[in-house]
């Protein structure tokens, strides 16, 4: 079911970044660097993906010296399947298609409390 969901180009970019190392926990800034997204775009996408159960989030263990603990993200099994399906069917990006995708389903971040 999740595989049939459409994603915006930005969400696909996030999924691709997470899919690159599916077993690893990723940080927000790392994902932003990989995708070129700003924090104001990245976090709403992560919220929506987490609300859908496609991404798991946690705070890193322990208190590292000299910096705050970071929030980490990883694809869930459902997220991995959905990401692979979406990325496999991803068409070559074109201007018209990219414009259509900008108003896609991940355009508005989830306002629901993540479960």
Partner 1 sequence: MTGLARMAAALLRRMAALLPAGQREWAEAALAEAAQVPAGPRRLAWLAGGLWLAVRESRQELTLRAARPLAFAAAASVTAWAAWRGQPGGLADPAVAVNRADMVAMTVILTGLPWLVRRRRGPARGRAGQAWRAAGYAVILGLIAAKDLVERYAYAAPGMRWAQPLLWIGEPVFLLVMAGYAGMLLTMTSRRSRTPPASLAIGAGAGAAAGVLACVLGPLGAPFHIFGAGPAIRYDAALAAGAFLALAAPAAAAAAAARHSRRREPATDAAPAGVAAGAITGAAAALLTAATSTWMIAALPGHPRLLRWAAAHVGYYSIGGAPPHGLPDFAAGYSSYAAGYLLVLLLFPLLGTGLAAWPALLAAGPRRPGPGRPGRGGPSEQPPPAPPDAGRSRPPSPQHDLPGPAEPAAPREAGDLIPA
Q: For binding to partner 1 (CB under 8 A), which residues are involved? A: 22-24, 27-29, 32, 38-44, 46-47, 50, 56-61, 63, 65-71, 74-77, 80, 109, 111-115
Shorter beta-carbon distance to partner 1: residue 104 or 114? 114
Shortest gap between Cβ of 59 and partner 1 (angstroms)?
A: 4
Shortest gap between Cβ of 1 and partner 1 (angstroms)?
A: 18
Shorter beta-carbon distance to partner 1: residue 91 or 113? 113
Shorter beta-carbon distance to partner 1: residue 7 or 73? 73
- Compute the distance between CA of residue 67 and CA of residue 3 in angstroms, rounded to an integer: 38
For 1, 113, 115, the CA distances from 16, given in Å and listed in that order, are 19, 25, 23
Count other Cβ atoms within 10 Å, centred on residue 99.
10
Helix (H) or strand (E) holding 112: none
Shorter beta-carbon distance to partner 1: residue 40 or 91? 40
**Burial class of residue 43 (count of CB atoms within 10 Å of its CB; 0-12, 13-18, 19+):** middle
């Amino acid at each position: 079911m999740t595989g049939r969901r459409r994603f915006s180009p930005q969400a696909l970019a996030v999924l691709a970044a997470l899919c690159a190392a599916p077993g690893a926990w990723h940080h927000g800034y790392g994902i932003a660097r990989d995708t070129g997204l700003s924090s104001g775009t990245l976090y709403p996408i992560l919220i929506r993906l987490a609300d859908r159960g496609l991404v798991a989030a946690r705070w890193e263990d322990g208190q590292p010296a000299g910096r705050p603990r970071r929030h980490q993200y990883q694809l869930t099994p459902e997220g991995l399947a959905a990401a692979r399906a979406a990325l496999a069917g991803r068409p070559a990006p074109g201007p018209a298609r990219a414009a259509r995708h900008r108003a896609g389903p991940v355009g508005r971040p989830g306002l629901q409390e993540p479960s």
